[in-house]
Structure 1
Amino acid sequence: MTQTASPLPERGPTGRRTAKGSLAAKSAQRVERPAPLRQVVYDALAELIINRTLEPGQHLVEADLAEYLGVSRQPVREALQRLQTEGWVDLRPAQGAFVHMPTDEEADQLLGVRAVLETHSARLAAGCASEAHVARLWELQNAGLEALAADDGEALVTANADLHSFLTELTGNAVLAELIGLVDRRVRWYYTPIARPRGHDAWAEHAELIEAVAAHDVEKAEKIMAHHTERTRQAFHERPEAARE
């Protein structure tokens, strides 16, 4: 799929923007199939929503999105239907598709589940982290501090997700990683409008967490993560008015 250089859609009037036989027993070099176009389009649109290029409440016009992505309208229509099923898009009769407007109640539910998973992850990580793991955590921490110094909101969100993801990965708990992965995209969506105002405190808390993990202090790591995730939940509720709009 090739993206065109055309601009994003204008906002609408509302302002919201066989192998058989003997061959089966032989080793063969498999040809890797590219992802189906509908999956590529779905991923592209989901990412545009998560990073808020497509803003909450924005009207989504199939023809404009198809032109922007350089595809036909059919995979866009299929992607929008899937996004609607997963809660990213609202399909309104006689009006069309709109980016879902997240509510504070939805944020509380998601961030509450995330807090339980992430707190358990921090405890497990502190109990099993190696020196190499800790060194990698500090590398990710530095990437976040660089994004903070550059006042790069998108890079801050990515760095935050990378650090939390690696913390879970190093536990070796595949079930935990799968569960956290299920909420990761939506957590990034909620985190985007508060990444800057939350920045200095969030990365100071990350540093304290890494120190606890390095010291194998499971109780302290668990406590720090519980505080960290709760402050993120509070920050979403206290986000600036411009971010709410």
Structure 2
Amino acid sequence: MLSEGLPQGTVPKLERPGPLRERVYEALLELITTRALPPGRHLVESELAEHLGVSRQPVREALQRLNTDGWVDLRPAQGAFVHEATEEEADQLLTVRTLLEAEAARLAAANADAAGIAELERLCAQGERAVANDAVDDAVAADAAFHAKVRELAGNAVLAELSAQVGRRVRWYHASVAGQRGRKPWSEHRELIAAIAARDEERATTLMRAHTEHTRRTYHERVRETE
């Protein structure tokens, strides 16, 4: 059953407003990106429908869309499975992330106001508390929120949209290495906030590039350890 192996409370409650197929898609995507539904997991329509409290039709539509978006693999005569990314896929994604996030950091240093910097400080403190409490999922969520705020402060809507698409996939990979990185990402975030507050565009760019590269290297190290 779907409930086996899922942490208590991970199955999201679907709020009624909005198209049902969109809400089912977002619910399943959240379960995948947080790895509540891990790579390789067999996704059975009837079980998903039961746990989300919907019919099988919106689940089927969501799985088809997730397949198109690269989150799910539909295999003939076998069914749907959470996509298992190759190391090459991960490397390509994390490389693109570095390019986008570094530019977002530069623009944030040029454009951020006091309120934005204060919000970065708040999110950083939230992440530090999560790490101190060994709450890996909360730390991953705080990290995603921190990077989303940097993108917002950049003030470039196109960059923000592209980075958000990449960022959701990065969260999937980050969930697998967050425990290994420990407190280090948050000290790097602190340095980045200082650079943004000082309007030092060059340093903000350099720090973000190094920060994202650390995540990429850690992911590859983890893959090789498990081979």
Query: What's the TM-score once normalised by structure 2's chain length?
Result: 0.90
Higher normalized helix content (fraction of residues): 2
Residue 62 of structure 2 aligns with which residue? 79
Q: Would the aligned equivalents of 2:45 and 2:56 in 1 still touch at CA under 8 Å?
A: yes
Distance in structure 2 (CA, Å) of the matches to 1:144 and 1:184: 17
Choose from 160, 168, 173 the match for 1:190.
173
Matches within 5 A, 1:107-122: 107-122=90-105
1:137 partner SS? helix
Residue 135 of structure 2 aligns with which residue? 152
Q: Would the aligned equivalents of 2:120 and 2:193 in 1 still touch at CA under 8 Å?
A: yes
- Per-residue deviation, residues 24-72 of structure 1 (Å, max 9, x unmatched): xxxxxxxxx9211111111111111111111100111111111111111
Name which one, 1 or 2, has greater alpha-carbon Rg: 1
Residues 1:62 and 2:25 aligned together: no
- C-alpha RMSD over aligned residues: 1.8
Q: Would the aligned equivalents of 2:31 and 2:37 in 1 still touch at CA under 8 Å?
A: yes
1:123 partner SS? helix
- Per-residue deviation, residues 107-161 of structure 1 (Å, max 9, x unmatched): 1111111110100011111122222222221111101101111111111111001
Q: Would the aligned equivalents of 1:208 and 1:224 in 2 still touch at CA under 8 Å?
A: yes
Distance in structure 1 (CA, Å) of the matches to 2:198 and 2:211: 18
Residue 8 of structure 1 aligns with which residue? 2
Runs of 4+ in 1 over 4 A off after TM superposition: none
The percentage of aligned residue pairs carrying the same residue is: 59
Distance in structure 2 (CA, Å) of the matches to 1:72 and 1:114: 37
Number of positions where the alignment pairs a residue of Structure 1 with one of Structure 2: 217
Task: Report the CA distance between 1:241 and its aligned residue.
Answer: 7.3
In structure 2, what residue type is equivalent to 1:8? L
Distance in structure 1 (CA, Å) of the matches to 2:78 and 2:154: 47
Residue ranges of structure 2 left out of the alignment (5+ in a row): 6-15
In structure 1, what residue type is equivalent to 2:35? R
Residue 94 of structure 1 aligns with which residue? 77
Range moving further from structure 2, 85-94 or 33-42: 33-42
Choose from 10, 21, 25 the match for 1:42.
25
Query: What's the TM-score once normalised by structure 1's chain length?
Result: 0.84
Q: Would the aligned equivalents of 1:9 and 1:61 in 2 still touch at CA under 8 Å?
A: no
Task: Report the CA distance between 1:9 and its aligned residue.
Answer: 4.4
Residue ranges of structure 1 left out of the alignment (5+ in a row): 1-6, 12-32
1:90 partner SS? strand
Change in CA separation of 1:109 and 1:241 when aligned onto 2, cut-off 3 Å = closer
